[in-house]
Each structure stands twice: as C-alpha cells, then as structure tokens.
Structure 1
C-alpha cells in the first residue's frame, strides 16, 4: 500500500479517507485541528501517540490574536475614513469602545492606534457623501 507524509499546512483543505496523525511538536491548537479534521470519519483517523488535553483545548495563539486585533482596528479606521457618515459614526464608536477603553475580555493593549494605514494600500473609493 502506498504511503506518504505531509505537514499540517500541506494537508489544509484536503479531504482524506484515512490518516495517521502525530501531535508531537505541534504548538497551539491550529495544527492539531487541521490534522484531525482532514479525515472523513473517526474510523479513518488514527492518532499515533497520546497527547495532553490542552493540545486541542487551548486559546488561540497570542501572536495570531494580536494580528486579528490589529487588522480589526485598521478595518474600522478604513470605514471611518471612507465609509458613509452612518458607517463612519458606527466605526468611530467601535474604535472608542474596543481600543481606547483599555483591554477588553483579557485582550492585551498591543494595537498602535496612532499608526495610519498608507493610502497606497487602500484602492479607489466611491465618495458616499
């Protein structure tokens, strides 16, 4: 029977009838999730070695959480600058609530709210005024 191995990154997006996974060396919960979710059934999934529960039940990677927070801030700033008056007002309120009121829900204060998004990164816009 032919056999081969692939990384979790390579497996992402694939559907496999059968797979053997090994969580040794995995960091965070993203890779283990990708590994086990490739199999089409539990019968087709073999986990090679025992693993601690926190390997699959942990919080999102801190760097990833910070990046999503940064992207959320810049998305709201873009809406504030280029959206309709109503959209801009809503975005301003969300920026004030989420980023200027200190950390919420245990999130760190790691978003630089003074940094502008370069106009070169924002494509042509339609003026809604």
Structure 2
C-alpha cells in the first residue's frame, strides 16, 4: 500500500489530494487550503493531526479500480455507455462524494419526517386543548 499527497492549484483554491493505492484500487480524499500554503503551513498541516484525519477519510472512501484508463473526449463521445473521466483519484473522490450525498439525503429525510411528526403532535394537542375550552 502506498500513499501520495499532491498539492495543486485548481483554478480557485490550492487543494491537497491524498491518494491511497492498495490491492482494492485507489482511494482518495482532498483538503482545500485556500491561499497558497507555505512550507511551514504544510509542515504544520502534517504535524497537527489534520493529515491523519485526511488519511482516515481516504481509507474510508470507496475504492476505484486503478486499471481503468481515462479516455479522450472524442472516444468518450463514441462510447457513451462506458464513460471514464479523470484520473483514478478523481474517480475515487467522485465516488466518495456520491456515497456521502446518499447518506446525507437519507438522514435529511429522517429529520424532516421527525419534524413533521413533532409539528403534527403539537397541532393536535393545541386543537384538543382548544376543543376542551382551555
């Protein structure tokens, strides 16, 4: 298993991507630095435990096969059934974001249902009290 940390400018912010290559494939996680980090800031990032948090996040993300090659846009247009976009790390981050969005969608639905039940209970209690003349 090997890990590689890359810092690059994505057009708006400086971003650090941690790629974990293991037997299952590639897993990745990213950290947004904002302005360009200095060497001292990168050292502080590595020593304060934020790098450990990023590593745990990368290890929990879903694995993407590293054998898949990124296709040119012309080939991708021809093979619409099997689009392969970006590097393995980009596909791994995309899969992690998709998994988190599914989890958050389910949690949000549960919260909204609980809130709806709570409001209905309060409204029924008020209506009952009003009916009894209180």
TM-score (norm 2): 0.29
Larger radius of gyration: 2
TM-score (norm 1): 0.30
**More strand, by proportion:** 2
